[in-house]
Structure 1
Amino acid sequence: MTDTRKDAARNRARIVEAARELTDRGELLAFNAIARAADVGVGTVYRHFATVDGLEEAVVLRRFEELGDIFRNAGQDGLVQVLTAHFTLLTEDALFERVTARAVPALAETRAVRNDLLGQLEQLMNHAAAHGYLRADVNATTVLLLVCGLAHAARSAQVRADSPQGKALLGVILDGLRPVTT
């Protein structure tokens, strides 16, 4: 790798870290503020990220990786475990929820990892449906929207995922995913 590429990689990492720190403090991601925090020019920020959406996705990429680890450790019968962990991640991180809920990701990397996770969720759901634990008329995208919406509502009401109220809210969603018996 040339020195220029190493320098560019360092700058990108500094930009993402500065954006993460600003987000953790509850500040909006504005390119000028990020450039100041990363000690780079605003043009450098624009060279790495064409949009704030792309930068936001780079900031929360680690959350997608955490979710991937949760899927890998859940096993075939881990749908409730995965949805509970996902709900928790989304309620803890408003930016992750906003990025997850986007119809179209800004970065190809985000699109790829999200599609992979949706595929894994669909597999878990198919397994649960085949064993009679899940309604057949819902898909992974529908469940993702439900969990994102619930997380947004819980965070807005300052309800923690691990609180009794948070558990009850998620329980309503999980109950609604079970097959209807007559």
Structure 2
Amino acid sequence: MGYPVILVTMTTAPLRKDAARNWHRIVEVGRRLVDEGTAIQLNDVARAAEVGVATVYRHFPTPEALLETVATPGLEALTAHAERALSGGDPWAELRDFLLAAVDAQVSDPALPPVFAAPVDALPRTTELKRGLTEMFGRLLDRAHAAGVADPAVTKADMLPLMCGVMFAANVHPAGGDRALTARRYLTVLLEGLRVR
């Protein structure tokens, strides 16, 4: 997965060629560690990326900053999906499809669940993306309420922990070991309870 050179954690100015190369190398190692389920330790990242420890800390002062950078493409993809959903014509289908995309993303990208669950963000960009997703999800739910297809008693404040419950259940009790299918099944049950016909 490629990352544009302008995506840096400490500055918005483009990086020099060698610094950009190091940044990409560090993020690639971070991505690999996350995919393997290995905790990010910046000294280990420096070794695996074949760069100095100071270089890693200059780009990513904490493991959380690197984790959030690894998660950023997934957050941006969900943001783009939410934006498209808000311009769609079927409030129920757009809400349902966005929530399905959200559970699929969290099952397929192990960087996303801890970033969503973190009470504090390391990077302003992460905060911006998470707030934007929450706000757009609220608008999608409001549209479904206004169209009379979602139970008006169920609020955004209700849905956020319920979505966390879906993901937790899929991780703890994956039917046949398939977390993705289980998450979609549990989400479908939740949506059946939300929907007004």
Compute the TM-score of the two structures, normalised by the length of structure 1. 0.84
Counterpart-to-counterpart distance in 1, 2:24 and 2:165: 31
Return the offset for 1:5.
3.4
Instruction: Give yes or no for contact 1:19–1:29 (8 Å, CA) kept in 2.
Output: yes
Counterpart-to-counterpart distance in 2, 1:9 and 1:141: 41
What are the equivalent positions in structure 2 for 1:11-160 lying under 5 Å apart?
Answer: 11-74=22-85, 75-76=88-89, 77=91, 78-140=94-156, 142-159=158-175, 160=178
Counterpart-to-counterpart distance in 2, 1:115 and 1:162: 25
1:174 aligns with 2:188: no
Q: 1:149/1:10 Cα in 2 relative to 1: closer, same or farther (>3 Å)?
A: farther
Return the offset for 1:141.
5.1
Find the partner of 1:7 among 18, 21, 25.
18
Instruction: Give yes or no for contact 2:29–2:48 (8 Å, CA) kept in 1.
Output: yes
Counterpart-to-counterpart distance in 2, 1:39 and 1:68: 33
Specify every segment of 5 or more residues in structure 2 that has no aligned partner in the other structure, as ranges: 1-5, 7-12
Give the total of aligned pairs. 179
Return the offset for 1:121.
1.0
Counterpart-to-counterpart distance in 1, 2:195 and 2:17: 51
Instruction: Give yes or no for contact 1:53–1:106 (8 Å, CA) kept in 2.
Output: yes
Counterpart-to-counterpart distance in 1, 2:100 and 2:57: 37
The Cα offsets for residues 51-72 of structure 1, whole Å up to 9 and x where unpaired, read as 2111111001111122123223
Compute the TM-score of the two structures, normalised by the length of structure 2. 0.78
Q: 1:67/1:178 Cα in 2 relative to 1: closer, same or farther (>3 Å)?
A: same
Return the offset for 1:138.
4.1
After TM superposition, what 4+ stretches of structure 1 lie above 4 angstroms from structure 2?
1-4
More displaced, 131-140 or 83-92? 131-140
% same residue: 36
3-state DSSP class of the match of 1:167?
A: helix
Instruction: Give yes or no for contact 1:97–1:152 (8 Å, CA) kept in 2.
Output: no
Instruction: Give yes or no for contact 2:107–2:180 (8 Å, CA) kept in 1.
Output: no
Q: 1:22/1:107 Cα in 2 relative to 1: closer, same or farther (>3 Å)?
A: same
